[in-house]
Amino acid sequence: MESSVCMPAESTEDSVRAWLKVLSRYRQPRIGRSGFELLVTVVPFAAFWACASISLFQGFWLGLISVVPASAFLLRLFMIQHDCGHGSFFARRRLDDWTGRAIGVLTLTPYDYWRRAHAAHHASAGNLDERGTGDITTLTVAEYRSLQPLKRLGYRLYRHPLVMFGIGPAWLFLFKQRLPFGMMGDGPLPWISTMATNLAIAALALAMIWAVGVVPFLAIHLPIVTLAAAAGVWLFYVQHQFEETHWSKGNEWRFAEAALHGASHYDLPPALRWITGNIGIHHVHHLSSRIPYYRLPEVLRDHPQLADIGRITLWESLQCVRLVLWDETRGKLISFREASEAAPNP
């Protein structure tokens, strides 16, 4: 156990920088633990997939409920892929990269392409002047009011829960990630990543179709992927789209402050915390992304003052859906209704 260091929870620049030094102690992964985490995620995923397949062939339709835990373990696989992208899972670059690429075939996520976009997200999260790469599109109140009616409608539709957590995740994982959108002119790597992943996905899909048939494969795998995608987008949303999050202009933006106060501590029940790879401890992750996900609880155990920063519960997270615009005056996210009520009279 790390010795507890008395650290302030205030957001002064010096205290936030001090946290970077404290958190560096947790960056070393335990190779055996990493291998175990991979094993206890891959095996249940395969088992639940097989259970759904057997149930379908036996005509036991209720057995298709297995797609729900299968999607949960696919989500957990994505969290391992996520740690690989940060070089924190094995802390061996080649091993992390090839593990991430292999998992990317299952999660339909081109690893190297995604890793580059995600790195941009970490480098600019909370920066109003650097929005648009690897994040949820968020407008300020002033920007929204300046839009033409049709574009306002487009933003409202984009922010609607049915689109954000239903149509959007399916579109992102099934279709959008088949091409390196946003990086088409950034050299060969994004193209190699997406095309190689597409070929591997096609090969695996054909093998599974040969084994179980096209209809059973689609009936099982599509629900698994879409459920996992929706849950993943929900987690990413809640981690940054909460009322007291942090946004600032480029000349005022500071990485450490934006990381600690622009990402939430999504305090989930233990079972959900485990299946989501502790990603809810997101403020700590953003402050020190090289900490393996299974060591994040150690940070809160040793430094409990961090637990209250940006903390939202499962129930409170449901209220985040209505928060869609950044109010620069009040320094918080607000709803369309709040923006309308605060609009100046013509």
Q: Which H, E and C letters describe 218-271, residue by residue? A: HHHHHHHHHHHHHHHHHHHHHHHCCCCCCCECCCCCCHHHHHHHHCCEEECCHH
pLDDT in tens, 212-229: 999 999 999 999 999 999
Query: Which of 204, 181, 176, 205 is closest to 191 using CA atoms?
Result: 181
Kindly state the average pLDDT of the residues 301-306.
94
Per-residue pLDDT at 284 exceeds 70: yes
> Is this model's pTM higher than 0.85 or not?
yes
pLDDT at residue 131, rounded to an integer: 84
Per-residue pLDDT at 15 exceeds 90: no
Query: Which of 241, 316, 236 is closest to 276 using CA atoms?
Result: 236
Torsion angles phi and psi, residue 310, rounded to 5: 65, 20
User: 88-102, 166-180, 247-261, 278-292: lowest mean pLDDT where?
Assistant: 247-261
- Decide if 269 contacts 314 (C-beta within 8 A): yes
User: 181-190, 196-205, 269-278, 293-302: lowest mean pLDDT where?
Assistant: 181-190
- Percent of the chain beyond pLDDT 90? 81
pLDDT in tens, 117-170: 999 999 999 999 988 777 899 999 999 999 999 999 999 999 999 999 999 999
pLDDT band at 196 (very low <50, low <70, confident <90, very high): very high
- Decide if 306 contacts 261 (C-beta within 8 A): no
pLDDT at residue 344, rounded to an integer: 63
pLDDT at residue 9, rounded to an integer: 46
Q: Decide: residue 308, CB within 10 A, 0-12 exposed, 13-18 middle, 19+ buried.
A: exposed
Provide long-range contacts, Cβ within 8 A and 24+ apart, for 258-261.
258/125, 258/126, 258/127, 258/286, 259/125, 259/126, 259/283, 259/286, 259/287, 260/11, 260/16, 260/19, 260/286, 260/287, 260/309, 260/310, 261/11, 261/126, 261/309, 261/310
Give the three-state DSSP class for 59.
Answer: coil
Kindly state the average pLDDT of the residues 101-128.
95
Length of the chain: 346
Per-residue pLDDT at 60 exceeds 60: yes
User: 2-6, 43-47, 230-234: lowest mean pLDDT where?
Assistant: 2-6
Per-residue pLDDT at 209 exceeds 60: yes
Per-residue pLDDT at 109 exceeds 90: yes
pLDDT at residue 63, rounded to an integer: 79
Instruction: Calculate the dihedral angle through the C-alpha atoms of 304, 306, 308, 313, rounding to the nearest 10 degrees.
Output: -90
pLDDT band at 345 (very low <50, low <70, confident <90, very high): low
Task: Calculate Rg over the CA atoms of the chain.
Answer: 21
pLDDT band at 5 (very low <50, low <70, confident <90, very high): very low
Average of per-residue pLDDT values in the chain: 92
Per-residue pLDDT at 4 exceeds 70: no
- According to DSSP, the residues that pair with 327 across neighbouring strands are 332
Per-residue pLDDT at 276 exceeds 90: yes
